[in-house]
Structure 1
Amino acid sequence: MKGLTCKTRNLKTNPTQLIIYWFLLGSFYSCSITKYIPENERLYTGANLTIQSEASIENKADLKTDLQAVLKPQPNSKILGMHLGLYYYYKNQTEKPGFINKWLYKKIGEEPIYQSDVETYEVEDLLLNRLENKGFFYGRATAVFEETDKKAAVTYNINVPKPYRMEQYKLDTMPTSIGKSIEALMPETVFEKNMRFDLNRMKQERNRIDKGLKQKGYYNFNDSFLIFQADTNNYTNKQFDLFLKLKNDVPQKSIIPYKLSTINIYPTYRVSDSVSAQTTSYNNKQYIQEEEFFKPAYLDPFITLETNQFFNPADSRNTARRLSTIGAYKYVNIQYQELDSLAADGSGLLEANIFLSPLNKRALRAELQVVTKSNNFAGPAFSLTLSNRNLFGGGETFNITPKIGYEKQLGGKQNSGNSSLELGIQNELIFPRVLFPIKINDDFFKYSIPKTKTSLSVDYLKRSNLYTLLSGTALFGYLWDANRYVTHEINPISLNYTELLNNTPEFEAILENDPFLRRSFDQQFIAGLTYGFTYNEMIDTQKKHQLFFNFTLDLAGSTIGLFGKDQGPEKPKTFLGFEYAQYAKADIDFHYHFNFGNEKVIAARLFGGYGLAFGNSDVVPFVKQYYSGGPYSVRAFNIRSLGPGTYNSDTSQNSVFFDKTGNIRLEANLEYRFPIISFLKGAVFADAGNIWNSKENPIYNGADKFDGNFLSELGMGAGIGLRVDIQSFVIRFDLAAPFHDPALPKGKRFDFDVSEPILNFAIGYPF
């Protein structure tokens, strides 16, 4: 280990040695590979492309990228400038390759690509074909090899002529019905006058028209029925007219629209069912089920299909998605069957069958976690969720979740409590519809129907040598998707009651020393409203640029304050005998992901939060305050150990023996994620952040106050991570060390101390 440490330190302090090392290693591998190349062969090292044109080319870079895509074969890959995959291929061909060489060949080995494997005439034909697809007809392509003793590369020289450009885009003669429908779609064409002939844009136009016709009821139409014809007879300067036509012999049923004649819903469909079912008519739909599993009046609003409306695949997808969100069904399958008869207007008729496969009535889910918390506390947590689906025949779900957690302080300088025990139970009832005194038109929620969520929970927390905390929470609110990316959640009723029990003398001393902390525990009753807005593009996993934005608002005590009882001057108001909190708290959380491809991602995050106490409160309740540090925050600092501001508990005369919190929080994170092998992923990251108080807490000696110097008071750290990612279940290990500690005196804060790094263990990605 000493030798390894010494080498690493020397390479770090002398980068020239590192460069020489990799150069010599690369030369060694190159020489080793060269001796294995057969005498009559040369190793193919790749292709270059040169483009010459008669005139300037629009989007030349895109054209070159398109042409480079057909250059084949691809040469052998390199890792840090070395053909390691090729090297282990050759080593594996020896009589005794050895176990390590065999294993490395299996993982990264690749067969050699020689000059003889390159068919230049095929590539030349592909290049000319790509040019023609882009409107450059009658171009030329030639290939020239550049050869050395053991290696060869090829250069393709492309001569690009002046392109053909469109003068007019016209619709050819078609049958009346479909002709009018296509004509109505023409103004939205992707074509424009003087555009270059482009086969890809023609495919886009065919797909666009096919999609538009499907939305107008043309159930049997296919984009392959459309063809384009270019006519250059009227021009001599490389211009053409483009005509859209129907192919000959298109089936008659493909050029007529279809209407829905009958809609059948099977709320309890099972493939193995053979029992005769009963049929109930509701809102011009047929509900067919053995017994009433799901009440038609509650299921009907989720179905956007209507009889006598034209077939539209968007309505079908919308119905399937809405039904899937109920939470009572495992599969949703919508099938259409053509009927032999026609409608009075000549349209075709379809029968829609919606097959719904229910989930099991009851389900049990167990969750075991290893958690890390404040002051080096760590331990297991176990929860069990029992679900009862479709409780009242309207898609309702009832969940009951008991939980237990135990934590032990594994180390650290503070000894406020060496263990904690948490017990709790949550009851949640979810209705897949709006429960409101006034009826709300379902058309207002076209994308999805809101869910009404009610919950009641009780928690018991005992921290040894400190206190026992008993708390209860009740919520009533609504959750719905406005579209594919936007989600709203509003809880007009949010109640929380906490009672501090069994205070120890040690904790009383803490409260006596910190009056702000005492005030944050005194206000036992919190009643208010919460709202959350989420915009999430992360669901599009193939998207290059992904955004995530979340805004939350927590407003407590404003409404209940109207009924508060005045206890006299300098005393807080009460409601039903309870002192209640009044505050407003807002958070903004922004994420950005840049996907390189091949699971390589740059992920960035910005977070800002502010809590304002007013009226009955001079401090935000403890459970609503911010903290910084930990596996989902600034990972170079222990959870809840960073800040507030520049406070340093080691040098302060007023030591803080409790979690460090504040009413202001700012954080920023940057992370590069990359694959290692199979399900193992790696990361390199940097974090910055801190918490502050807008009103000084005397115990912090003014170090916690937020002012214009906040940027110099950010805690900063960097590190590396290892993630086990198995089908979106992620176990994460992050090792980080601080390089800017705001608790240190000015001038000494920048110090990348790697002697005592922080190891973070968590489930899921941090952002």
Structure 2
Amino acid sequence: MKYNFTSIIIYLFLLGSFYSCGIIKHIPEDERLYTGAKLVIESDSVIKNESALKTDLETVLRPEPNSKFLGIYFGLYYYYKVQKEKPGFINRWLYKQLGEEPVYQSDVETYDVEELLVNRLENRGFFYSSAASEFEETEKKASLKYTVTVPKPYRMVNYKLDSMPFSIHKSVEKLVSESPFKTGMRFDLNTMKMERQRIDKNLKKKGYYNFNENFLIFEADTNQYHNKNFDLFLKLKNEVPKKSLIPYTISKINIYPNYKVSNSAELKPTRYNEKNFIQEEEFFKPKYLDPFVVLEEGDYFNPERSRNTARRLSTIGAYKYVNIQYKELDTLADDNLGHLEANIYLSPLNKRALRAELQVVTKSNNFAGPAFTLTLSNRNLFGGGETYNITPKVGYEKQIGGNQNSGNSSLELGLQNELIFPRVLFPVKINDDFFKYSIPKTKTSLSVDYLKRTDLYTLLSGTALFGYLWDANQYVTHEINPITVNYTALLNKTDAFEDILNKDPFLRRSFDQQFIAGLTYGFTYNEMVNANKKHQLYFSFKFDIAGNTIGLLGKDQGPNKTKTFLGLEYAQYAKADIDFHYHLNMGKEQVIAARVFGGYGLAYGNSDVIPFVKQYYSGGPYSVRAFNIRSLGPGTYDPDSDPTDGDIFFDKTGNIKLEANIEYRFPIVSFLKGAVFADAGNIWNSKENPIYDGKDKFSKNFISELGMGAGIGLRVDIQSFVIRFDLAAPFHNPALPKGERFDFDLSSPILNFAIGYPF
């Protein structure tokens, strides 16, 4: 059944009328439903940025009226429903999720709101303002109109510093000269509070350990002027403690690398780089711990340096708690300088840790089975904060479903060894001061994987990596791996898989190049770490290049043949990905999340196709969810229309990928969350693969070749551990002929199961 736009609007109008009538009959006879207030500003002069002032004033309008959606008071409707003698389970549950108590006209205290409006205006420099209110009533509803009369504001002529003690006067005088206050600035109490905070923050950086912003006070003098101008004076309150007006220096730094309350006072310190390292035995070598501490003896107290030190120490990965405390040392009464002792208490994590993870994996290509991973960690391995992880894994999957490949299964075994150093390992010493925010980590790993796909092949692969990872600031992370080496050996090919390779020479070439050696770089900007931001951005760029260095050492095998290195054919390519996410947090756990992804890989030199493990695919729980994993594309290719393809097990891949997703997330009850989403994307090849009859090549018509789908999701979110179920169906299938691609096919939806949010 199809509906046009007009019929939907009429339906929604009738639905809203039905709900409205159901609510009005429940309103008591002597009451009216309060529907909100509007604010009108009347002024005898032009108000600069009047819209911002109005927005500010509207925040004091109380109470908030009952919420509504498309003109329907759902919360109020279910409130009245549960007032019945037998409301029923569903109505009680909906009331808990959506219900709101009614807000009536009698709940509005107009006098209090008028006072708040006048107070807010005076705080913004509009003295002698006034506010009035008037109800606008119908039979069962009432709204309010507030009118504020705003005169010309008071404006500043001069900003001056009043007399202060010598020990602090010069520092505050310099800060006042750097103030953002300008002549003609409107009197604004909130701006003055921000100025006090600015001065306090900068005085703390200069060593004023005991200073407090509440010691500062502003006085406005209007006696010199007759046209609503004033001079602003900054001064100290009376009886401010003397120790608050002198700067402090750090005279001693004590570091406890393995802090225990019981015996810390009895231990003899080890002196290193003008710091005292106090530990019962050498738990952490001072020369490795010292670079993480940016405090120096003789420096003025600076809270930013303390925070930076605490953050750097916490990133080592060996400590559970980092606690920096300052102790005031005796200072003579006539001294103009105080002294502090900095004590850094470090509480280690357990040296060894064991983490096990068991998953029941269900994939969209009808494979299902258990996967078990065990990680053994050894922290502070060599006394320098090193972490060694050894991770064995085993997984088994079997394809279930009614097709000719139903017997296929796969067994995966793997072992990864990872050693992380919380410092830069480089032949030439790099000054640690170059990395202000955090010290890079050096990451090395060596892993081996064994994958056996029944009736197809066995794949043995080994990977070695050496690289660096560091945070440039709160949001930016860099990762560069100058050495990445991967070797794969395709073993025990069956006749069935050999037949697949014979049909697809490009696929065969992607497996032939067994040796990959190159460099990878990743840049990430991530505002998702700040959960309080309304608008959150995430951007990542990844670059992967292989084969250039060893290409200089490659051995020529003759005309029209690829070069080899140590007897192995090596891959040569460049690949770049861009991934952009945006989250709009609307409050009450409601989020609109969007994502755009683009990737391109170029084979050159020794390669005419990118290795299979580096190619793109589309479809599945983290991609276009209305299509099975690795089944979408490439381009407009349709395997069902190719009698030679049959139900080929092997995945569809390409060297170009574009995707876009949008999703609305909302709470349901407790740890259950819901989602409504739409996805679009596909993969292509820059060079035609003959097996796809030219349908896989990227062209200017790529928009019409996107696979699109929509669906709903259910998520179990327990303390950020998310189990996700997404049900989706396609509404644009590029494999169909032109003119038939738009069709919302609900007959066979795809159920995706995954861990974590898709983006």
TM-score of the aligned structures, taking structure 1 as reference length? 0.94
Deviates more, 1:454-463 or 1:739-748: 739-748
Q: CA deviation at 1:735?
A: 1.7
Judge conservation of contact 1:277–1:291 (CA < 8 Å) in 2: no
Answering whether residue 443 of structure 2 is matched by residue 453 of structure 1, we say yes
Tell me how far apart the structure 2 counterparts of residues 412 and 165 of structure 1 sit (CA, whole Å). Answer: 80
After superposition, residues 536-685 of structure 1 pair within 5 angstroms as: 536-655=526-645, 656-685=648-677
Deviates more, 1:66-75 or 1:9-18: 9-18
Q: CA deviation at 1:490?
A: 1.0
Tell me how far apart the structure 1 counterparts of residues 193 and 143 of structure 2 sit (CA, whole Å). Answer: 35
Deviates more, 1:316-325 or 1:489-498: 489-498
Answering whether residue 701 of structure 2 is matched by residue 709 of structure 1, we say yes
Tell me how far apart the structure 1 counterparts of residues 273 and 505 of structure 2 sit (CA, whole Å). Answer: 64
- Secondary structure in 2 matching 1:609: strand
Judge conservation of contact 1:527–1:560 (CA < 8 Å) in 2: yes
- Secondary structure in 1 matching 2:413: strand
Cα gap change, 1:173/1:609 in structure 2, threshold over 3 Å: closer, same or farther? same
User: Where does the alignment leave 5 or more consecutive residues of structure 1 unmatched?
Assistant: 1-5
Tell me how far apart the structure 1 counterparts of residues 121 and 100 of structure 2 sit (CA, whole Å). Answer: 32
Tell me how far apart the structure 1 counterparts of residues 40 and 670 of structure 2 sit (CA, whole Å). Answer: 38
Judge conservation of contact 2:366–2:401 (CA < 8 Å) in 1: yes
Answering whether residue 420 of structure 2 is matched by residue 430 of structure 1, we say yes
Cα gap change, 1:106/1:676 in structure 2, threshold over 3 Å: closer, same or farther? closer
Deviates more, 1:83-92 or 1:116-125: 83-92
Deviates more, 1:679-688 or 1:423-432: 679-688
Judge conservation of contact 1:320–1:332 (CA < 8 Å) in 2: yes
Q: CA deviation at 1:167?
A: 1.5
Corresponding residue to 1:690 among 682, 685, 696 = 682
Q: CA deviation at 1:510?
A: 0.9
Judge conservation of contact 2:24–2:140 (CA < 8 Å) in 1: no
The match for 2:11 is: 18
The match for 1:724 is: 716
Deviates more, 1:223-232 or 1:43-52: 43-52
Letter in 1 for 2:161: L
Letter in 1 for 2:136: E
Judge conservation of contact 2:364–2:750 (CA < 8 Å) in 1: no
Judge conservation of contact 2:368–2:397 (CA < 8 Å) in 1: yes
Number of residue pairs matched? Answer: 757
Q: CA deviation at 1:260?
A: 0.3
Tell me how far apart the structure 2 counterparts of residues 88 and 666 of structure 1 sit (CA, whole Å). Answer: 44
Answering whether residue 22 of structure 2 is matched by residue 29 of structure 1, we say yes
Answering whether residue 212 of structure 2 is matched by residue 227 of structure 1, we say no
After superposition, residues 205-604 of structure 1 pair within 5 angstroms as: 205-271=195-261, 276-341=266-331, 346-373=336-363, 375-411=365-401, 413=403, 415=405, 418-604=408-594
The match for 2:745 is: 753
The match for 1:156 is: 146
Tell me how far apart the structure 2 counterparts of residues 165 and 602 of structure 1 sit (CA, whole Å). Answer: 43
Judge conservation of contact 2:361–2:371 (CA < 8 Å) in 1: yes
Tell me how far apart the structure 2 counterparts of residues 756 and 463 of structure 1 sit (CA, whole Å). Answer: 27
Cα gap change, 1:303/1:414 in structure 2, threshold over 3 Å: closer, same or farther? farther
Cα gap change, 1:417/1:100 in structure 2, threshold over 3 Å: closer, same or farther? closer
Letter in 2 for 1:231: D
The match for 1:142 is: 132
Deviates more, 1:696-705 or 1:469-478: 696-705
Tell me how far apart the structure 2 counterparts of residues 617 and 150 of structure 1 sit (CA, whole Å). Answer: 77
Letter in 1 for 2:210: N
Cα gap change, 1:755/1:14 in structure 2, threshold over 3 Å: closer, same or farther? farther
Q: CA deviation at 1:242?
A: 1.1
Judge conservation of contact 1:302–1:322 (CA < 8 Å) in 2: yes
Q: CA deviation at 1:405?
A: 1.3
Cα gap change, 1:452/1:11 in structure 2, threshold over 3 Å: closer, same or farther? same
Judge conservation of contact 1:375–1:412 (CA < 8 Å) in 2: no
Q: Deviations over 1:420-460 (max 9, x none)?
A: 11110101010111111111111111111111111111101
After superposition, residues 68-217 of structure 1 pair within 5 angstroms as: 68-78=58-68, 80-90=70-80, 92-93=82-83, 101-217=91-207
Letter in 2 for 1:510: I
Cα gap change, 1:313/1:290 in structure 2, threshold over 3 Å: closer, same or farther? same
Tell me how far apart the structure 1 counterparts of residues 68 and 505 of structure 2 sit (CA, whole Å). Answer: 64
Tell me how far apart the structure 1 counterparts of residues 595 and 192 of structure 2 sit (CA, whole Å). Answer: 40
Judge conservation of contact 2:363–2:753 (CA < 8 Å) in 1: no
Judge conservation of contact 2:252–2:275 (CA < 8 Å) in 1: yes
- Secondary structure in 1 matching 2:26: helix
Q: CA deviation at 1:91?
A: 5.1
Judge conservation of contact 1:29–1:82 (CA < 8 Å) in 2: no
Tell me how far apart the structure 2 counterparts of residues 662 and 153 of structure 1 sit (CA, whole Å). Answer: 61
Tell me how far apart the structure 1 counterparts of residues 6 and 741 of structure 2 sit (CA, whole Å). Answer: 22
Deviates more, 1:409-418 or 1:651-660: 409-418
Deviates more, 1:236-245 or 1:407-416: 407-416
Letter in 1 for 2:12: I
Q: Deviations over 1:224-260 (max 9, x none)?
A: 1111111111211111111111111111111111000
- Secondary structure in 2 matching 1:595: strand
- Secondary structure in 2 matching 1:563: coil
Tell me how far apart the structure 1 counterparts of residues 504 and 86 of structure 2 sit (CA, whole Å). Answer: 73
Tell me how far apart the structure 2 counterparts of residues 427 and 343 of structure 1 sit (CA, whole Å). Answer: 60
Cα gap change, 1:101/1:168 in structure 2, threshold over 3 Å: closer, same or farther? same
Judge conservation of contact 1:190–1:201 (CA < 8 Å) in 2: no
Q: CA deviation at 1:628?
A: 0.8
Cα gap change, 1:726/1:59 in structure 2, threshold over 3 Å: closer, same or farther? farther
Letter in 2 for 1:23: G
Judge conservation of contact 1:216–1:257 (CA < 8 Å) in 2: yes
Q: CA deviation at 1:97?
A: 5.1
Letter in 2 for 1:118: V
Q: CA deviation at 1:42?
A: 3.6
TM-score of the aligned structures, taking structure 2 as reference length? 0.95
Tell me how far apart the structure 2 counterparts of residues 660 and 91 of structure 1 sit (CA, whole Å). Answer: 54
Cα gap change, 1:338/1:522 in structure 2, threshold over 3 Å: closer, same or farther? same
Q: Deviations over 1:43-63 (max 9, x none)?
A: 433323222111222222221
Q: CA deviation at 1:671?
A: 2.1
Cα gap change, 1:226/1:275 in structure 2, threshold over 3 Å: closer, same or farther? closer
Q: Deviations over 1:305-348 (max 9, x none)?
A: 00000000000000000000000000000000101136997310
Q: CA deviation at 1:563?
A: 1.3
The match for 1:3 is: none
Tell me how far apart the structure 1 counterparts of residues 99 and 419 of structure 2 sit (CA, whole Å). Answer: 56
Q: CA deviation at 1:505?
A: 0.6
Answering whether residue 54 of structure 2 is matched by residue 61 of structure 1, we say no
Tell me how far apart the structure 1 counterparts of residues 128 and 536 of structure 2 sit (CA, whole Å). Answer: 42
Q: CA deviation at 1:369?
A: 2.6
Tell me how far apart the structure 2 counterparts of residues 119 and 512 of structure 1 sit (CA, whole Å). Answer: 82
Cα gap change, 1:707/1:113 in structure 2, threshold over 3 Å: closer, same or farther? closer
Tell me how far apart the structure 2 counterparts of residues 707 and 88 of structure 1 sit (CA, whole Å). Answer: 54
Letter in 1 for 2:696: D
- Secondary structure in 2 matching 1:749: coil
Tell me how far apart the structure 2 counterparts of residues 607 and 758 of structure 1 sit (CA, whole Å). Answer: 22
Q: CA deviation at 1:703?
A: 1.1
Judge conservation of contact 1:465–1:504 (CA < 8 Å) in 2: yes
Judge conservation of contact 1:261–1:307 (CA < 8 Å) in 2: yes
Cα gap change, 1:540/1:16 in structure 2, threshold over 3 Å: closer, same or farther? closer
Cα gap change, 1:512/1:367 in structure 2, threshold over 3 Å: closer, same or farther? same
